[in-house]
Structure 1
Amino acid sequence: MTDKHYNPDPHAHPGLHIIAIVEAVKGSLALLAASGLELIGPAPLQRWVHELIARFQLDPSHGAAAWLAQAINPGAVHLAAAVAALYGIVHLIEGWGLWRAKAWASWLGCIAAALYLPFDIYAFALHRHWLEAAVVAINLVVVWVLARDLMVRRR
């Protein structure tokens, strides 16, 4: 169902292109992180966490850093790498779809950005910092651009 005034050419949608580039960058960085986790492995990660605990004089038996040091093992590293890889692949696919002005990519992006909004708003309510405000504003713009694209397609 397309409107004869709606142009599916991705060059007609600069907002989609910008979001597509951001999604592709996020996906690429996530795949790099996943690869890095697999290449580095758990031993150096544990050593780095222990060095941070010592440097900042944290309690090595209590707290988040101590939990992290104990949680790092080969299985956890493989799981984290798999989650990061899946996240990266989804964002690369979304970026490709948005670049090509695919409706399913607009749906995926709109839903994903909308799911982040409650957490972003909560972070802003706690910290009231310009950075949290910028994140909320950017996500609102992304949801608006993608929802607008979907509404134009529907007409």
Structure 2
Amino acid sequence: MTEQRYNPDPHAHPGLHVIAVVEALKGALAVLAASGLELLGPAPLRHGVDLLIAKFQLDPDHGAMAWLANAISPHSVHLAAAGVLFYGIVHLVEAWGLWRAKVWASWLGCLAAAAYLPFDIYAVFHHPGWLSVAIVALNLLVVWVLGHDLVKRKR
């Protein structure tokens, strides 16, 4: 009996495994967050928003936080948990694909990271600081690595 072992694509970028680990962590955290939302329900979430309103002395009847507090219901928590679960599963599938050096995963990761860039750049201008710049740099690096992987494999 011959042992079948995983042979990675020799044309794949070596950074794929690093990105795969990060994506797996993001996916696992999202699945945990979705589970927490489902298990705990709306009460702790509502309590947390109320604490933020009190801490920052916000108007409890007007503004974004007041809208958020009023929008929290069992139905909205189920909907949010479903969205977060979907997000987590997509990242876990992407991580698996990147770990296995699948071309479709490089496409998925490149497009997903590129989709975040306009929001990241917006954050740099409206919330300047080293963290905003680091996030843009990291997403640009991911887009570059995955894009380079795709170009390298096409040759």
1:27-42 → structure 2 map (5 Å cutoff)? 27-42=27-42
Q: Specify the code of the residue in structure 1 equivalent to 2:124.
A: F
Partner SS, residue 116 of structure 2: helix
In structure 2, distance between residues paired with 1:57 and 1:127: 21
In structure 1, distance between residues paired with 2:47 and 2:131: 32
RMSD: 1.6
- Residue number in structure 2 paired with 1:65: 65
- Residue number in structure 2 paired with 1:143: 143
Partner SS, residue 78 of structure 2: helix
**Which runs of 5 or more residues in structure 1 are unaligned?**
1-6
- Residue number in structure 2 paired with 1:3: none
- Residue number in structure 1 paired with 2:77: 77
In structure 2, distance between residues paired with 1:126 and 1:43: 32
1:1-155 → structure 2 map (5 Å cutoff)? 8=9, 13-155=13-155
* Identical-residue share of aligned pairs (%): 69
**Which runs of 5 or more residues in structure 2 are unaligned?**
1-7
In structure 2, distance between residues paired with 1:32 and 1:138: 24
In structure 1, distance between residues paired with 2:93 and 2:149: 18
Higher deviation after alignment, 112-121 or 17-26: 112-121
- Residue number in structure 2 paired with 1:4: none
> Aligned in 2, Cα 1:126/1:57: closer, same or farther, shift over 3 Å?
closer
